[in-house]
Structure 1
Amino acid sequence: MRALASAVAVTICLALAGCQDGRDDADPAPSGSSSATESTPTEVPAATGPLIDGEVFDVHAPDGWQLDGSFSTDFMHQLDNTSNARELMGVAEITDEVRPLAEVARDNFRSFQTIGKKRRMPDTELAGEPAYRIRAVEVGGAVKEELGAVYEGTQVSISMTLLGTPKERQQVFDSVLASWEWQ
């Protein structure tokens, strides 16, 4: 039953966070690594909005965002921007997920729900831990991005759907990543 619940959780998490950009839905494992963002991370202050207190991490949403209590559960939290409901943030953790990151990335890439093509970006880091990265551009210009890591036997992912210029999106995403702390 726990395995089924974990599988359902992963599917739901991935349905919330999609990312597309240019590469096909094929999932060749990217080589090399990059920063947590496409370009060099901008120097932005850490987000100070609502705190998500996970089992193995703490992270803040941007100011002006709120928790969607109708959707959040013990293992998944969804937040939205109160000034633009098309902007979303999802954070999930699944315990007892002791698998190599490459396997988790492959499975999450295959399950990643989005409109159009998704792209597996070069692997990166999430607060110093190795992480996979997926990106997609939706109809209407919103960009979905997901980072995921395996930390102390727990699979975690953070995804954001953002609007605005590339620089604006990057600053929001970087501020959230700057607030991430492993417990």
Structure 2
Amino acid sequence: MSVLAVDLDLLDLILDWQMTIAWAGEANCEPSRLGWWRTDLIDDLGGGDLLARLLPRTKVYAGWESARSAAIATDRRARQRMANPDKLRTIFFWGFDLDEKLHDRLAARKRLSENLKLPIAWEDGFDREAIAKQVSDRCGESKYELVAGGREIRRSDSDQQNLLFLVAALVPFDQNYSMPFYLIA
């Protein structure tokens, strides 16, 4: 698919999954969730309160975007340990052009104060098994090959399907971020 032809629905879907995984990966919250990045930027009892006071107009997105940035940094470090990191596509790295479109779309959503449309729910707090089940229900069965540095999925022709494959490959959750990825030519 041409990057110019990317529709807003795909950008929103990628962003919503990125922010959901960024939330789930936080470690410094009480109770700790998956523990993949050392942040607590979303919860009102953690950094979410400070960010809401500092950025009242964009408070809905402030913590989410910050947690997403921590996830992107963790993903980048994992990719840099692989051969040809720029030829990998992950949940948090779609290549320069698409990542720029994601950045612009996130900025537009913040300006419009759009509500987050996160694909999973956690009304009763974080429950590792319940979250894994929701991921599997929404994304399908995880199919990947364990390789040094991550979990390699088979690439589809659809960016939306690739996203769902990448998210599904997070399950089962490991102690460390497992970096699902696929290679491009």
- The normalised TM-score by structure 2 is 0.28
TM-score, normalising length from structure 1?
A: 0.28
More strand by share: 1
Tell me: higher relative CO, structure 1 or 2? Use CA pairs within 8 A at least 6 residues apart.
Answer: 1
Structure possessing the higher radius of gyration over alpha carbons: 2
